[in-house]
């Protein structure tokens, strides 16, 4: 995966900018393991509008107020 591909996803609105969510591209690791506090995501998910999981606090607020995203 190249950063150029991810930048095209940002331009299309499928992926937030790197400065916002601090995404990274896997290097040449033998075994790809997420670091603590990282979420693994696939580009095909973003293409179909699935994105990142919502924070538990936001889910609680939405539930309390009876709202949906």
**What are the phi and psi torsion angles at 42 (to 5°)?**
-120, 140
Whether 46 shows a pLDDT value over 80: the answer reads no
Whether 4 shows a pLDDT value over 80: the answer reads yes
What pTM value is reported for the model?
A: 0.56
Distance CA 9, CA 3 (A): 10
Whether 17 shows a pLDDT value over 80: the answer reads yes
- Residue 53 pLDDT: 67
pLDDT band at 59 (very low <50, low <70, confident <90, very high): confident
Whether 39 shows a pLDDT value over 70: the answer reads yes
Sign of CA dihedral 37, 69, 49, 20: negative
**What are the phi and psi torsion angles at 48 (to 5°)?**
-100, 10
């Amino acid at each position: 995966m190249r950063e150029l591909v991810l930048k095209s996803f940002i331009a299309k609105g499928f992926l937030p900018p790197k400065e916002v969510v601090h995404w990274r591209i896997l290097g040449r690791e033998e075994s790809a393991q997420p670091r603590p506090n990282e979420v693994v995501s696939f580009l095909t998910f973003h293409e179909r509008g699935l994105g990142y999981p919502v924070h538990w606090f936001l889910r609680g607020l939405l539930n309390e107020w009876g709202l949906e995203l």
